[in-house]
Structure 1
Amino acid sequence: MAVARRTMISFGLVAIPVALYTATQDNDIHFNQLHKADHSRIKYKKTCSHCGQEITADDIVKGFEYDKEKYVIVTDEEVEKIKTEKEKSIQILHFANLNQISPVYYEKTYQVIPEAGGEKAFELLRNALMQEQKIAVGKVVWGASDTLMCIIPREDGMIIATMYYADEIKELPKSYTKPEVTEQELKMAKALIESMDTPFDPAAYHNEYQSKLKELIESKINGKEIVAPKEAATNNVISLMDALQASLEKNKAGEEKAPKKKSGRKTKGA
């Protein structure tokens, strides 16, 4: 697991050296684009719009268009020069409750590990956040932009989630015509939720469609014909109450067949 970034978390006058590791990976199957006629790979070349010459990465510089077809060239070294030491570290701006932040603001997640000499301050911050049930909101300059982020404590360490700014979130319709819900329908819906209420276990979820896609690829490699699976018979449910009742009965039947498991819930006062 390669180190993504080394930086500092500034907590008041305390500076905590940390290393940030990417916390996720792409496991999806990816397809290459091929020429339909002979199945050869499609290649993309970068060319100069003026002379038509093919360009390599070493020939490319960054430019900002300040007027039509007029550019000012800005180098990575110049971008780094204007950063202060303060901006290069993660500055904690304030603390908040985790449930005050909508998940739509989260972008990418990193695991945070303290560097040598920062373990005590790191653990102090983690422990204090856990006990106060708080998260820290901070920012750092990465590349050519302020990056907003959220520091979230966990039992075994901390994670950092980079965040979108408010003006980067699209406005979505926030209202709809709310139909009346009867007490009986609400009671049935609560019962269905209760019947499906189990502790979250991330290891229990798998990308099943990717598994099917791998099987399809293996079948194609071995020259087998691809056969569509038979669709399960659908119930002719004619009302919301019928759908809720049928769902409850299905869950109940599944529970009776499944082996008994100890509840993951804690009793009050535990």
Structure 2
Amino acid sequence: MAASHKGAISFGLVHIPVALHTATQNNDIHFNQLCREDGSRVKYKKVCANCGKEVAADGIIKGFEFSPGQYITMTDADFEKAKTEKDKTIHILHFTEMRNIRPIYYDKTYHAVPEAGGDKAYELLRKAMLSEEKVAIAKTVIGQTEKLLALIPTDTGILVETLFFYDEIKEMPKEPEQPELNDAELTMAKTLVNSMVKPFEPEQYQNEYQVRLRQIIEDKIAGKEIVTPPDEKPANVINLMDALQASIRQVEDQDGPPKKKRTRKKAEPA
């Protein structure tokens, strides 16, 4: 698998050559756009706004509009001139606790894989962060974009998460109200939460919608009739406490009757 980016992790005077490989993939079913009338593919062409001719990929350059209709052009060399040596490395700025990074800042995940000669320094950084329960905040330039990063140690390697910058985060359009809760409601909600606690085992989950969609596609290919599954209508529960109690009973029914604890018999005196 080709690397998305190659560079070096830099902290202090230590440089660790690494390659970044994407850690996730999109498994969604992809569709082509077709003409409704004859079913032909709909294609998009890049056309010059002036002469109307189609422009090939090698005939396209980047331009910045500094005034309406006026552009300055940029070459790859221009973008490289903007980079410093620090930009070419994954430069660690500082370390922090993972809980300090709000989930909204996470963007994309990469595996950081050590290149030749970097294994020992890589393992040293991974083990030190893991032992101290710290993650690293870093910056680098990938392509033509500066990225804020979080380096997260795992039991086997280091994950690199690209982070959004502060000014890229949108404010919540409306803050939810925080009505007062009585003790009984909160206790019941905590009971429901604790009754549903299980280990997170990612292999246990699958994209069920994609499975059903793929089955519909296969049925249509085979000329079968498509049957729509019946809707699952939610129960009409109005009272919050009733809803919590019903939810707890539902969880208990799914898990079965509680197991009786085995008690040891006291040893009879000799």
**Fold conserved (TM > 0.5)?**
yes
**Stretches of structure 1 lacking an aligned partner (at least 5 in a row):** 260-270
2:5–2:142 Cα contact (<8 Å) kept: no
Task: Write the letter of the residue equivalent to 2:237.
Answer: V
Is residue 2:159 matched to residue 1:159? yes
Q: What's 1:55 paired with?
A: 55
The 1:210–1:149 alpha-carbon spacing in structure 2 relative to 1, beyond 3 Å, is: same
Q: What's 1:105 paired with?
A: 105
Distance 1:104 1:184 in 2: 32
2:9–2:17 Cα contact (<8 Å) kept: yes
Distance 1:63 1:238 in 2: 58
Distance 1:103 1:38 in 2: 46
Q: What's 2:227 paired with?
A: 227
| Number of residue pairs matched by the alignment | 259
Is residue 2:92 matched to residue 1:87? no
Cα offset, 1:174, TM superposition:
6.2
Q: What's 2:18 paired with?
A: 18
Distance 1:193 1:219 in 2: 40
Cα offset, 1:238, TM superposition:
2.7
Cα offset, 1:175, TM superposition:
3.2
The 1:136–1:64 alpha-carbon spacing in structure 2 relative to 1, beyond 3 Å, is: same
1:222-249 Cα deviation digits (max 9, x unpaired):
1122221123454332311111111111
Q: TM-score under structure 2 normalisation?
A: 0.92
Q: How does 1:116-155 map to 2 (within 5 A)?
A: 116-155=116-155
Q: How does 1:181-260 map to 2 (within 5 A)?
A: 181-232=181-232, 234-256=234-256
**Stretches of structure 2 lacking an aligned partner (at least 5 in a row):** 260-270
2:140–2:147 Cα contact (<8 Å) kept: yes
Identity %: 52
1:106-136 Cα deviation digits (max 9, x unpaired):
1110011111111111111111111111110
Q: What's 2:267 paired with?
A: none
For residue 256 of structure 2, give the secondary structure of its aligned residue in structure 1.
Answer: helix
Distance 2:81 2:178 in 1: 55
RMSD: 1.6
Task: Write the letter of the residue equivalent to 2:236.
Answer: N
Distance 2:175 2:82 in 1: 45
The 1:258–1:28 alpha-carbon spacing in structure 2 relative to 1, beyond 3 Å, is: farther
Distance 1:171 1:123 in 2: 39
Distance 2:71 2:51 in 1: 17
1:186-208 Cα deviation digits (max 9, x unpaired):
11111111111011111111100
1:168-198 Cα deviation digits (max 9, x unpaired):
1111146332222111111111111111101
Cα offset, 1:218, TM superposition:
1.0
Cα offset, 1:80, TM superposition:
1.3
Distance 1:195 1:34 in 2: 49
Q: What's 2:170 paired with?
A: 170
For residue 139 of structure 1, give the secondary structure of its aligned residue in structure 2.
Answer: strand
Distance 1:178 1:150 in 2: 32
The 1:246–1:54 alpha-carbon spacing in structure 2 relative to 1, beyond 3 Å, is: same
Q: TM-score under structure 1 normalisation?
A: 0.92
Task: Write the letter of the residue equivalent to 1:220.
Answer: K
